[in-house]
């Protein structure tokens, strides 16, 4: 028993170690990619009416005339030693401040998305599987198909149109009250919900057919008990993985929902920065988000391993 | 091939999907014949007019006929989806074949690169790439293609790893076939089922992704008739003229639905295990 524990812990440790070079590469790659983006950062900071001498002076000061590898090295040093990701062109503040201001909104929205899509998705998936081929099951499958085909930004707009504009039931923008969270929450949850429903349904179907369910039923346990105790426990594991997989989808949904509903979140900040060519902000936001997603994926992987030691970590 | 078609015919969902896709494809091919007006012809005295007998879907904020723009827009949308899948499919499958067949350091390098691409949330990576290349439909297509490559690479690689050790490959080797022959004549054809399944759903995702990029202004640029762009143009007039956004979005939904339905049906026929 102890040997197994050590082996599992070692696997987890290895997995964590593998993540560190990945994060490093992501940081460096993001820096290099944006380095080749059009527009001179110094020119952008000073505005179009700045003299060439001033621009050149700022370039020297910011280290923009250094060779690329020196710039990368300075950037990394800044992050690791001081947590300094640079200064935004637009707000003239450290980008970490701008990000910190908008991050809570996006995180709240994402959490709503995860909770709603997981809980409702798993429930509906189970119902659909247990009552396979029934009218309810078929109706659910049709709705799921539509949900998967709907772009989040169109769904958001249609929800806005119906509930905010036509019916005046819910607010159309802003963030803070629970009413303002409903429409964006629905928008961001729909696609992941549909995917989770699908996966739960097919996993449950697989599990229900397995022999030990039949054995349990033969032993005399009632049908419901059989389902809820045995099937659910084993179908739960893939759901954990799915949550990890849906993170990218969730984030896309967050970006689009923030655009449609004018929410002051990180997604909208990224888009505004792309327009404004605010490269330090884009760089920092992308790195932050990639970090968060990678770490959450790591946690999901670890949980997955702990739940089912038969699964290989990679 | 005939077997596949015969089995597919029985799946009503797949047929509906094929129908939807065909309608849009025909719309794209025969656009000049179907569209009643020039999609870029402005008519500033008739802005945002509602659907009427003269303008089936009404007019947008510059007085352009929405129906014509939808018809011509199908070209942009279809092209975006298909080109993305072609680029990602060809490059990704090639990388997967190499990584799976030769393994070792090269294989590892390829798969680690795929991991790096996958470390970014795919939409964010697409935004990043467009930020570097500057906004435009073509760059949006490139960006979405790059984010799709890893799924092809991974799938084809795992197929290759399995197929490498199969009996007919062994036989081919015994007969003296070169590696290249084995890869392209034996392994690739047997991987095609997965690739095709990935591709049909991939077109659906690519269409949504490029439309999303256009919606936030990083894809197709005005005055191009592109469905995602039309949606965002209608956003400001949601209260007074919702039809601008409704029709463009509905077109996207129907086309994507078509590809999803057809893709699901195709997957059931080609490999029921994947369900």
B244, HSE (Cβ side, Cα atoms, 13 Å)? 25
CATH number at residue A121: 1.10.3720.10
Query: Which of residues A23, A53, A84 is at a domain's end?
Result: A84
Q: Is the predicted ipTM greater than 0.90, yes or no?
A: no
The Cα of A260 is separated from the nearest Cα of chain B by a number of Å equal to 8
pLDDT at position B152:
93
pLDDT at B272 over 80: no
Domain that holds residue B79: 10-25+67-274
* pLDDT the model gives residue B259: 93
Exposed e or buried b per residue across A245-263, where buried means at least 16 C-beta atoms within 10 angstroms of its C-beta:
bbbbbbbbbbbbbbbbbeb
pLDDT 10s digits, B157-182: 988 888 888 877 788 878 877 777 77
State which residues form the domain around A209: 100-307
Question: What is the per-residue pLDDT across B192-246, written as a single tens digit (0 to 9) for each?
Answer: 888 888 898 899 999 999 999 999 989 888 888 899 999 988 888 888 888 888 8
Give the number of domains in chain B. 1
CB A89, CB A276: distance < 8 Å: yes
Is the pLDDT assigned to residue B45 strictly greater than 50? yes
pLDDT tens digits along B198-209 = 898 899 999 999
Question: Are A33 and B128 inside 8 Å of each other by CB?
Answer: yes
| CA of B250 vs chain A CAs: smallest distance (Å) | 8
pLDDT of residue B78: 93
Instruction: Identify the pLDDT of residue A236.
Output: 65
pLDDT, residue A297, reads 82
Write the CATH number for B216. Answer: 1.10.3720.10
Q: Using 50, 70 and 90 to split pLDDT, how confident is the model at B145?
A: very high
- Domain total in chain A: 2
| pLDDT confidence bin for B271, thresholds 50/70/90 | low
Is residue B215 less than 8 Å (CB to CB) from chain A?
Answer: yes
Q: Which residue numbers in chain A have pLDDT < 50?
A: 311-314
Average pLDDT over residues B101-124: 88
pLDDT at A314: 41
B45: contact with A, CB 8 A cutoff: no
Nearest residue of chain A to residue B260 (CA atoms): A149
Instruction: Give dist(CA A278, CA A269) in Å, integer.
Output: 10
Does residue B126 lie in a domain region? yes
Question: Which chain A residues touch B240 with a CB distance below 8 Å?
Answer: none
User: Is A173 a domain residue?
Assistant: yes
- One domain, residues A67 and A158: no
Q: Domain end: A51, A84, A117, which one?
A: A84
- Residue B231, Cβ density class (10 Å: 0-12 exposed, 13-18 middle, ≥19 buried): buried
Chain-centroid distance of CA B112 in Å reads: 25
- Find the residue in B nearest to A34 (Cα): B132
pLDDT on residue B153:
92
Residue-level pLDDT at B125: 92
Last residue of a domain, one of A84, A119, A152: A84
**A289: in domain:** yes
Give yes or no: residues A47 and A151 share one domain: no
Is A9 within a domain?
Answer: no
Same domain membership, residue A141 and residue A170: yes
Same domain flag for A270 and A123? yes
Enumerate the residues of chain A whose CB falls inside 8 A of the CB of residue B128.
30, 33-34, 282, 286
Residues A72 and A108 in one domain: no
Record the tokens describing residue A183, joined without a space: 């429409």
Does A22 map to a domain? no
Q: Residue B75 — very low, low, confident or very high, per pLDDT cuts 50/70/90? A: very high
Nearest CA in chain A to B240: A165
A260 at B interface, C-beta within 8 A: yes
Q: In this complex, is the C-beta atom of B274 within 8 Å of any C-beta atom belonging to chain A?
A: no
Size of interface A-B (CB pairs under 8 A): 119
Render pLDDT for A64-111 as a digit per residue (tens, 0 to 9). 777 888 888 888 888 887 777 777 777 778 888 888 888 888 888 988
Is there a domain that residue A34 lies in? no
What pLDDT does B275 receive? 41
For residue A314, being part of any structural domain is answered with no
The minimal CB distance from A154 to the residues B116, B122, B253 is found for B253
Look at residue A8 and tell me if it is in a domain: no
Same domain, A180 and A293: yes
Residues of chain B with pLDDT > 70: what percent?
97
| Co-location of A144 and A184 in the same domain | yes
Give the pLDDT band (50/70/90) at residue B253: very high
Asked if A161 and B260 come within 8 Å (Cβ–Cβ), the reply is: no
Mean pLDDT of B267-271: 77
pLDDT in tens, A27-73: 889 888 888 888 777 777 777 777 888 778 877 777 777 788 888 88
| C-alpha span between A112 and A185 (Å, rounded) | 6
CA A254 to each of CA A70, A270, B66: distance values in angstroms, whole numbers, following the listed order: 35, 12, 29
In terms of domains, do A150 and A76 share one? no
> Looking at beta carbons, which residues of chain A come within 8 Å of B264?
145
Phi first, then psi, for residue A87 (nearest 5°) are: -115, 140
Separation between Cα atoms, residue B34 and residue B40, nearest integer Å = 15
């Amino acid at each position: 028993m102890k040997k197994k524990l050590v082996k599992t812990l070692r696997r987890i440790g290895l997995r964590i170690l593998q993540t560190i070079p990945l994060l490093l590469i992501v940081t460096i790659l993001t820096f290099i990619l944006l380095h080749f983006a059009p527009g001179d950062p110094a020119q952008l900071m000073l505005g179009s009416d700045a003299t060439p001498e001033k621009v050149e002076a700022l370039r020297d000061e910011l280290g923009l005339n250094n060779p690329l590898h020196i710039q990368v090295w300075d950037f990394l040093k800044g992050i690791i030693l001081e947590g300094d990701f640079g200064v935004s062109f637009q707000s003239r503040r450290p980008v970490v401040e701008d990000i910190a201001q908008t991050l809570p909104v996006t995180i709240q929205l994402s959490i709503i998305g995860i909770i709603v899509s997981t809980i409702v998705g798993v429930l509906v998936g189970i119902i659909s599987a247990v009552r396979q081929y029934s009218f309810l099951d078929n109706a659910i499958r049709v709705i799921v198909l539509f949900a998967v085909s709907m772009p989040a930004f169109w769904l958001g707009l249609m929800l806005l149109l119906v509930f905010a504009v036509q019916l005046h039931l819910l607010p159309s923008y802003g963030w803070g009250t629970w009413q303002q969270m409903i429409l964006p929450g629905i928008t961001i949850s729909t696609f992941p919900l549909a995917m989770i429903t699908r996966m739960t349904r097919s996993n449950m179907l697989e599990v229900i057919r397995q022999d030990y369910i039949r054995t349990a039923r033969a032993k005399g346990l009632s049908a419901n008990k059989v389902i809820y105790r045995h099937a659910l426990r084993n179908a739960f594991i893939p759901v954990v993985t799915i949550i990890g997989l849906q993170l990218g989808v969730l984030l896309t949904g967050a970006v689009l929902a923030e655009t449609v509903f004018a929410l002051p979140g990180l997604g909208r900040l990224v888009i505004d920065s792309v327009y404004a060519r605010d490269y330090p902000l884009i760089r920092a936001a992308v790195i932050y988000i990639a970090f968060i997603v990678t770490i959450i994926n790591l946690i999901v992987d670890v949980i997955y391993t702990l739940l089912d030691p038969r699964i290989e970590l990679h | 091939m005939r077997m596949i078609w015969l089995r597919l015919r029985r799946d009503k969902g797949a047929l509906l999907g094929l129908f939807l896709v065909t309608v849009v494809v025909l719309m794209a091919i025969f656009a000049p014949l179907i569209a009643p007006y020039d999609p870029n012809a402005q008519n500033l005295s008739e802005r945002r007019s509602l659907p009427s007998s003269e303008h089936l879907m009404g007019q947008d904020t510059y007085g352009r006929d929405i129906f014509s723009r939808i018809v011509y827009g199908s070209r942009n949308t279809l092209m975006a989806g298909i080109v993305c899948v072609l680029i990602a499919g060809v490059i990704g499958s090639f990388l997967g074949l190499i990584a799976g067949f030769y393994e070792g350091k090269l294989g590892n390098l390829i798969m680690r690169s795929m991991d790096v691409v996958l470390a970014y949330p795919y939409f964010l990576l697409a935004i990043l790439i467009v930020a570097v290349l500057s906004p435009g439909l073509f760059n949006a297509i490139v960006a979405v293609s790059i984010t799709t490559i890893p799924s092809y690479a991974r799938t084809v690689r795992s197929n290759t790893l399995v197929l490498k050790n199969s009996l007919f490959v062994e036989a081919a080797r015994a007969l003296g076939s070169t590696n290249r022959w084995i890869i392209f004549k034996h392994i690739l054809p047997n991987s095609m089922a997965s690739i095709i399944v990935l591709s049909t759903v991939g077109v659906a995702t690519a269409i949504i992704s490029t439309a999303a990029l256009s919606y936030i202004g990083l894809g197709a640029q005005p005055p191009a008739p592109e469905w995602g762009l039309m949606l965002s143009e209608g956003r400001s007039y949601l209260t007074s003229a919702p039809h601008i956004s409704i029709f463009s979005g509905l077109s996207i939904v129907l086309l994507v639905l078509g590809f999803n339905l057809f893709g699901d049906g195709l997957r059931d026929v080609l490999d029921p295990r994947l369900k």
